[in-house]
């Protein structure tokens, strides 16, 4: 699902930068919203499933998420001021574009630990003493 999110939101953002009519703009913005709705349920489930210290890792996710939201206005404003509003969508969209093949070949977020070590961590057993 995260691969679908990254590819979909990247392509949708590039599409916003390339629109020619108001109807195309509406459709491209709708697709950004649809793909963006994938991120939080899947991302939060991934953190909860694999966190060693859940509170700390949820807190770090919140801090970095808020820093991203806070800095996005500044970055978008600078790109929009100097390159135009279309580039404010194309530049971040290119970051997740399918032409950047490494994340699609071996996405870091799909690597999983063996089921036995996940169960041990959830019970609170230190993994170094359990061979996991």
93 neighbors 23 (Cβ within 8 angstroms): no
pLDDT tens, position by position, 20-29: 999 999 999 9
Domain count of the fold of the chain: 1
- C-alpha to C-alpha distance for 13 and 6, rounded to whole angstroms: 11
What confidence score (pLDDT) does residue 115 get? 53
- C-alpha to C-alpha distance for 68 and 12, rounded to whole angstroms: 19
The overall pTM is greater than 0.75 = no
- C-alpha to C-alpha distance for 117 and 125, rounded to whole angstroms: 9
- pLDDT winner (highest mean) among 31-35, 54-58, 108-112: 31-35
End-to-end CA distance of the chain: 27
Q: What angle do CA 86, 76, 43 make, to 5 degrees?
A: 105
Structural domain boundaries enclosing 39: 2-129
């Amino acid at each position: 699902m995260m691969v679908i999110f990254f590819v979909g939101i990247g392509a949708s953002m590039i599409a916003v930068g390339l629109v020619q009519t108001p109807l195309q703009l509406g459709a491209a913005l709708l697709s950004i919203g649809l793909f963006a709705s994938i991120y939080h349920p899947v991302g939060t489930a991934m953190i909860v499933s694999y966190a060693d210290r859940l509170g700390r890792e949820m807190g770090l996710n919140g801090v970095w998420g808020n820093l991203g939201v806070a800095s996005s206005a500044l970055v978008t404003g600078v790109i929009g001021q100097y390159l135009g509003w279309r580039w404010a969508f194309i530049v971040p969209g290119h970051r997740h574009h399918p032409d950047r093949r490494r994340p699609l070949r071996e996405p870091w977020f799909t690597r999983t630990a063996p089921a036995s070590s996940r169960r041990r961590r959830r019970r609170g057993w230190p993994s170094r003493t359990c061979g996991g």
